[in-house]
Structure 1
Amino acid sequence: MKIRLLVPVLLVVAIAGQSCVSSKKYKELDANYTQLQNSTNDLSMKYQNSERALAVANSQIKSLDDRLTQERANSAALKDALDKCLNASSQGNVNISKLVDEINRSNSYIKELIAAKNKSDSLNMVLTNNLTRSLSQSEMQDVNVQVLKGVVYISLADNMLYKSGSYEVSDRAGETLSKIAKIIKDYSTYDVLIEGNTDNVPITQKNIRNNWDLSALRASSVVQSLQNNYGVDPKRLTAGGRGEYNPIASNDTPAGKAQNRRTQIIITPKLDQFMELIGKAPAEQPKQ
Structure 2
Amino acid sequence: MKKALLALSVVALSLSSCGTKKKLAECEAKNKEIQDLLNTATVKLNTCLSEKEALNSQIDYLKKNNADLMNTVGNVTTLSSKGAANLEKSLESMKEKDLKITRLQDALTRKDSVTLALVTSLKREVGINDPDIQVNVEKGVVFISIADKLLFKSGSYNVSDGAKAVLAKVAKVINSKPDFECMVEGHTDNVPYVSNGTLLDNWDLSVKRSTSIIRVLTKDLGVAPKQLIAAGRGEYIPLVENNTAENRATNRRTRIVILPKIDQFYDMIEKEMKNQQGK
Normalised by the length of structure 1, the TM-score is 0.50
Larger Rg: 2
CA distance in 2, matches of 1:134, 1:210: 33
Equivalent of residue 196 in structure 1, options 179, 183, 186 = 186
Question: Which runs of no fewer than 5 residues in structure 2 stay unpaired?
Answer: 1-100, 270-279
Equivalent of residue 163 in structure 1, options 146, 153, 157 = 153
Question: Which runs of no fewer than 5 residues in structure 1 stay unpaired?
Answer: 1-112, 279-288
CA distance 1:157–1:218, shift in 2 (3 Å): same
Structure 1 position 192, deviation (Å) = 1.1
User: Residue type of the partner of 1:187?
Assistant: K
Q: Is contact 1:181-1:226 (8 Å) kept?
A: yes
Equivalent of residue 233 in structure 2, options 235, 242, 249 = 242
After superposition, the C-alpha distances for 1:85-137 in whole angstroms (9 at most, x for unaligned) are: xxxxxxxxxxxxxxxxxxxxxxxxxxxx9xx9799578546424335426647
Q: Is contact 1:135-1:183 (8 Å) kept?
A: no
| Aligned-pair identity (%) | 43
Query: What secondary structure, in the 3-state scheme, does the structure 2 residue paired with 1:242 have?
Result: strand
After superposition, the C-alpha distances for 1:212-237 in whole angstroms (9 at most, x for unaligned) are: 11000000000000001110000111
Alignment of 1:58-97 (within 5 A): none
Does 2:252 align with 1:261? yes
Query: What secondary structure, in the 3-state scheme, does the structure 2 residue paired with 1:256 have?
Result: helix
Structure 1 position 263, deviation (Å) = 0.6
CA distance 1:125–1:155, shift in 2 (3 Å): farther
* Structure 2 counterpart of 1:229: 220
Query: What secondary structure, in the 3-state scheme, does the structure 1 residue paired with 2:190 have?
Result: coil
Query: What secondary structure, in the 3-state scheme, does the structure 2 residue paired with 1:182 have?
Result: helix
* Structure 2 counterpart of 1:105: none
Q: Is contact 1:249-1:259 (8 Å) kept?
A: yes
User: What RMSD, in angstroms, separates the aligned Cα atoms of the two structures?
Assistant: 3.4
Structure 1 position 275, deviation (Å) = 6.0
User: Residue type of the partner of 2:134?
Assistant: N
Query: What secondary structure, in the 3-state scheme, does the structure 1 residue paired with 2:162 have?
Result: helix
Does 2:172 align with 1:182? yes
CA distance 1:137–1:213, shift in 2 (3 Å): closer
Q: Is contact 2:123-2:135 (8 Å) kept?
A: no
* Structure 2 counterpart of 1:130: 118
User: Residue type of the partner of 2:208?
Assistant: L
CA distance 1:121–1:159, shift in 2 (3 Å): farther
Query: What secondary structure, in the 3-state scheme, does the structure 2 residue paired with 1:193 have?
Result: strand
Higher deviation after alignment, 260-269 or 147-156? 147-156
User: Residue type of the partner of 2:179?
Assistant: T
Structure 1 position 174, deviation (Å) = 1.0
Question: How many pairs align?
Answer: 169
CA distance in 2, matches of 1:213, 1:242: 9
CA distance in 2, matches of 1:206, 1:137: 38
Q: Is contact 1:198-1:262 (8 Å) kept?
A: yes
CA distance 1:153–1:274, shift in 2 (3 Å): farther
User: Residue type of the partner of 1:240?
Assistant: A
Does 2:141 align with 1:141? no
CA distance 1:274–1:186, shift in 2 (3 Å): farther
Point out the structure with the larger helix share: 2
* Structure 2 counterpart of 1:219: 210
User: Residue type of the partner of 1:250?
Assistant: E
CA distance in 1, matches of 2:208, 2:259: 22
Q: Is contact 1:132-1:183 (8 Å) kept?
A: no
After superposition, the C-alpha distances for 1:178-224 in whole angstroms (9 at most, x for unaligned) are: 11111111111111110101010011241321001100000000000
CA distance 1:181–1:128, shift in 2 (3 Å): farther
Higher relative contact order (CA 8 A, sep 6+): 1
User: Residue type of the partner of 2:220?
Assistant: N
Higher deviation after alignment, 265-274 or 212-221? 265-274
CA distance in 2, matches of 1:249, 1:126: 30
Q: Is contact 2:142-2:258 (8 Å) kept?
A: yes
Structure 1 position 163, deviation (Å) = 2.3
